[in-house]
Chains A and B, each alone.
Chain A
C-alpha cells in the first residue's frame, strides 16, 4: 500500500496545531490534502486499493479536529467521488481530483455568492444589526451598502472577546457607517432596526443555528419586534451528524476570558460560566443565505441530503465518531 505523501501529513498537522484555522480554510485545506493524495498516489492501479489508501488519508484528516463541522464535510464531499462505482482507475482518480477542486472553488466563491444573494434581501434605507464577527455577514452588509440600501449598522461588542470590534473595524474600512452597542442594549436598540444579519458556526438538520453566545437572544428580540433575521452561512457549515440526532457540543471556555484570575481566586463561591455558543431555534430565523441559494432554515435537511447524502448514509450506519472510511472499503 502506498504511503501518505509528506505534504498531506503537513496539512493534517497544520489543522491539528491550529496553524490552519477558520472554518473555510480548514475545509479547503482538507480538500486540497485529498487532491494531493490522489495526484501523488503511486500504488497499484486498482480501484479497491486506491480507495483503501484514500480512506486512510481521509481518516487521518478527520481525526485532527473532530468537532469542527467544516472539516468532515469537506472530506465527505470528496470521498463521495472515491466511493463511486467504477472499475476504471483513471476515471476514478480524475473524479476525486475534480471533486476536490470543485469543493475548493465553490468554497472560495461561496462568500461572494452569499453577499450577492443576501444583499438582495436588504431593503432600501435599512438599519441593520449584527452580532459577533462573521465574514459572510460582513460581506452581505457591505454589498448591500454598496448598492445604496444600508443607512446604518449596529454592531454588538460581543463579550467576552469583543469580536464586534473586528466587525466594526471591517465595516468602517468598507465605508459602512457603524455604531457599536453593548450586548445588553440589543432589545433597547431593536425598535430602530429593520433587519438582523448574522453568521453561523454550525447549522443543524432541523435548521437550528449554532453561533456565538448571544445570537439566540438577538434573534429573540428581533422576533419580538418583528424584525427579519437572516443567517449567512456556507453549505459546509451544515452538520450531517445532527441528522442522526447528535447534539452539537457547546464549548465552555476559560473563565479568565470573563474576569481576571485574581478576581476568581478571591471569590470562591462564584463560578464564572463561559459558553462560547448558543442555539437559535429555526422559528426565529427568516432565511439562511447559502451559496447554493436562499433557503428557509427548515430546509437545512435538504441541503444536507443533496450535498452530503452519501456521507449521511454512512454516518447512519456507523455514527461519525466511529465512522472510519477504511472500514467502508470493499475488497
Chain B
C-alpha cells in the first residue's frame, strides 16, 4: 500500500491539512485514472474519518496502525486461500497480484506440492513477472498465452485471482482477462476463488455506483515502430480490468474467512455495524476538512 507509506511522509507535524490535500490529490487522480481502486478509496476514507473525529493528533500513529493491519489482513486472506490448496493441486492464475504471490509463498512454506499455470496477461504481461517469482520459489510453473486458458483448463483443479475491488453483489473487479479465465473455469467445473481483504469491498457500489473501468490504447499493445508499420487508421482498445460476475466465483478469501460472493453485505455489516453502512461521500469529507477547497 504505497498510499499509506506516502501518507506517512507528509503526515508530520500538528497541522495535517497537507496530508488531507495530498489525499485529495491522490483521490482525484485515481478517480480519473483507476476508478476501480476500492482499497485506495476506503483507505482515504478511513484516514479522513479519523481526522474528522480526532483532529490531527495521532494521525501518524493511526496511519501506521492502519498499514500494519492491512498488511496482516492481506496475509490472513492468503492464509485462508492456502487452506483450500492441497497436495497435487494444479492452480491457474493470471497477472501478478500480491495476494496470490503470498498464497504461493505460504504453500511453499507449508510444503504443499502444487504446480501453477500462469497466463501471460496482455496487455501488461505481468504473468512473466509472476512466473519469475514462482521460478525463484522453485514451483513447477507453466507459462501460457491468455488464449490458451480454456485449452489447459481440463488440467487445472483451482483458479485463483487477486482483486482490485469487490462489488457489494460479489462481482470481482480484477485484471483484464480474469472474467474470461473464470468463465472457462466455470464451464469446466473448476473452482474459482478471489483473494481480497475486506478493504477491497467497494462501498460506493452499495449506493448503486458502477465500478468504472479504465482502458488504454495501442500504446499498451505495441511499440512506436510497430505502430508506424500499421495503417494510419489503426486503433485499439486495451481494457485494464474486467468484472467477473458472482455466479462464476466460488469463494472470496478475506481476512475474516472464505465467503461466498453473495454474502458481501453480511461482511459489510460485520465490519461497519450496520447495513447499509453510514458513509459520507469522499467529496463531502474533503469539503468539510478543507473548507470547500
Chain A residues close to B by CB (< 8 Å): 156-160, 165, 168-169, 172-173, 178-189, 212-214, 216-217, 220-221, 224, 258-259, 263, 266-275, 278
Contact = CB atoms under 8 A, between A and B. Distances in A.
Contacts of B123: 182, 184
Contacts of B255: none
A182 B217 CA distance: 10
Interface residue tally on B, bucketed by range: 35 or more
Interface string B132-171: 1011001111111111111110000000000000000000
B239 A275 contact: no
Nearest to A177: B233
A185 B150 contact: no
B180 A187 contact: yes
Contacts of B218: 180
A169 B230 contact: yes
Nearest to A170: B231
B183 A270 contact: no
Given A217-B183, A278-B148, 16 more contacts: A159-B122, A159-B146, A172-B233, A179-B237, A183-B122, A183-B147, A188-B179, A188-B180, A217-B150, A221-B180, A221-B183, A259-B143, A266-B135, A267-B135, A269-B140, A270-B141
A188 B145 contact: no
Contact of B135 (A180, A188, A270): A270
Interface centre among A172, A187, A267 (most CB of B within 10 A): A187
Contacts of B140: 269
Contact of B148 (A179, A189, A259, A273): A273
A189 B184 CA distance: 16
B177 A185 contact: yes
A217 B145 contact: no
B120 A159 contact: yes
Contact of B142 (A156, A220, A263, A270): A270
Contacts of A258: 120, 143-145
Given A172-B233, A185-B176, A271 B145 contact: no
A217 B177 contact: no
B128 A180 contact: no
B187 A220 contact: yes
Contact of B183 (A169, A187, A212, A213): A187
Contact of B141 (A213, A216, A269): A269
A224 B176 contact: no
Interface in B41-67: none
Contacts of A188: 176, 179-180, 239, 242
Nearest to A212: B147
A220 B131 contact: no
Interface of B: 94, 119-123, 128, 131-132, 134-135, 138-152, 176-177, 179-180, 183-184, 187, 218, 220-221, 230-231, 233-239, 242
B142 A185 contact: no
B149 to A, nearest CB: 6
Contacts of B94: 184
A311 to B, nearest CB: 30
5 contacts: A182-B238, A213-B148, A259-B128, A278-B150, A278-B151
Contacts of B119: 184
Contacts of B148: 213-214, 273, 275, 278
B176 to A, nearest CB: 5
A184 B218 CA distance: 14
Contacts of A186: 180
B179 to A, nearest CB: 5
A217 B180 contact: yes
Nearest to A268: B135
Contacts of A183: 122, 145-147, 177
Contacts of A221: 180, 183
A168 B238 contact: no
A306 to B, nearest CB: 32
Contacts of B149: 217
A121 to B, nearest CB: 25
A48 to B, nearest CB: 48
Interface centre among B141, B150, B183, B237 (most CB of A within 10 A): B150
B183 A220 contact: yes
A65 to B, nearest CB: 24
A224 B236 contact: no
Given A188-B176, A269-B135, A270-B131, A168 B234 contact: yes
A328 to B, nearest CB: 38
A68 B269 CA distance: 61
B22 to A, nearest CB: 33
B141 A273 contact: no
A172 B142 CA distance: 36
A179 B221 CA distance: 12
Contacts of A160: 145
Contacts of B238: 181-182, 185
B239 to A, nearest CB: 5
Contacts of B151: 213, 216, 275, 278
Nearest to A215: B147
Contact of B122 (A157, A212, A267): A157
A179 to B, nearest CB: 5
